[in-house]
Amino acid sequence: MASYTEDTREQALTQLMHLYGDSIKRMCGVYLRDTGMADDAAQETFIKAYDHIDEWLDGEIGNEKAWLMRIAINTCKDTLRSSWMRHIDRHQTIEALPLSITPNNEERLALTQAIMALAPKYKEIVLLYYYQDLTLRTCAQILGISAPTATRRLQQAQKKLRIQLEERG
């Protein structure tokens, strides 16, 4: 394994933050339904990634996006599992989140809100597959489930989304 200077490592991390920062923060926002916690989770994701930045620089991490998304999803799960979250519902109501509302995007807003309202296990597969544009096999690897389970879960999530959207009119 090559030895890198701290400057090289920081530059590499900055590059990752430029590339994936926005999408990770938004994904965390949808998953956690709390903008403050999304800030923390997104930052935490990159801090954890830094611990393995040498491996990434060495080319040992094949799919960097999948690697980062795995860290991000696990960070979000840890946040939800924390004792504080178990006792205090810090989820903001969907209506209270700072979503951008323009007259033309009400439909898209409703879709985002419907995803936010899904249970975490459905939300994560939707976010990874549709929002992060990963393959179903990669999603399954990230979530630690088999490919058939991932397929089934995605289908169930689609069904739940449809029902929610119909209910919202």
Partner 1 sequence: MKKDSSIRYAIDESLSSVRFNAQDERSVLRRVRAQRQEEKPPVHAKKRGLRLDFAFAMGMVLVLVIPLTVFTLHAGSLRTQRIVPLADTNPSVDAPPVKVSETAQPVASAAPVSDSVIDESAAIRAARDCYNAVCDTSIFSFEEFTVTCTLDAPLYPAETEGDTQYTVVMESVYGNGCTFEVYVDALSGSVLHSDPKYATLPSISALQSEKAQAWYKKNGNCLLTWQPAAQAEFSRRYEGATLREAKDGEIPFAQAAEIAKNAAASYDAAFCYPLLFSERAAADGIARYRVFCFADEITGDASSAQPAAVVVLNAATGAVESVRAFDSESDSALMKGWVDVR
**Positions that interact with partner 1 (CB under 8 A):** 6-7, 10, 13-14, 17, 21-22, 24-27, 29-30, 35-40, 42-43, 46-47, 50, 79, 82-85, 87-88, 90, 98-100, 105, 107-109, 111-113, 115, 126, 129-131, 133, 136, 154
User: Inter-axis angle of helices 6-32 and 35-50, to 10 degrees?
Assistant: 150
The region, left, alpha or beta by phi > 0 then psi within -120 to 50, assigned to residue 80 is alpha
Which of residues 61 and 99 has its CB atom nearest to partner 1 in the complex? 99
The span from the CA of 101 to the CA of 99, in Å, is 6
Strands (DSSP E) found in 17-154: none
Minimal distance in Å, beta carbon 141 to partner 1?
Answer: 18
Which of residues 51 and 167 has its CB atom nearest to partner 1 in the complex? 51
The span from the CA of 136 to the CA of 114, in Å, is 21
Name residue, tokens 């007259």.
Answer: 103
Provide the residue type at 12 as one letter: A
Give Dmax over CA atoms of the chain in angstroms.
57
Which of residues 32 and 143 has its CB atom nearest to partner 1 in the complex? 32
Minimal distance in Å, beta carbon 36 to partner 1?
Answer: 6
Minimal distance in Å, beta carbon 58 to partner 1?
Answer: 19
Minimal distance in Å, beta carbon 15 to partner 1?
Answer: 11
Which of residues 61 and 85 has its CB atom nearest to partner 1 in the complex? 85
Which of residues 35 and 63 has its CB atom nearest to partner 1 in the complex? 35
Q: Closest Cα to residue 114, out of 39, 151, 167?
A: 167
Minimal distance in Å, beta carbon 57 to partner 1?
Answer: 15
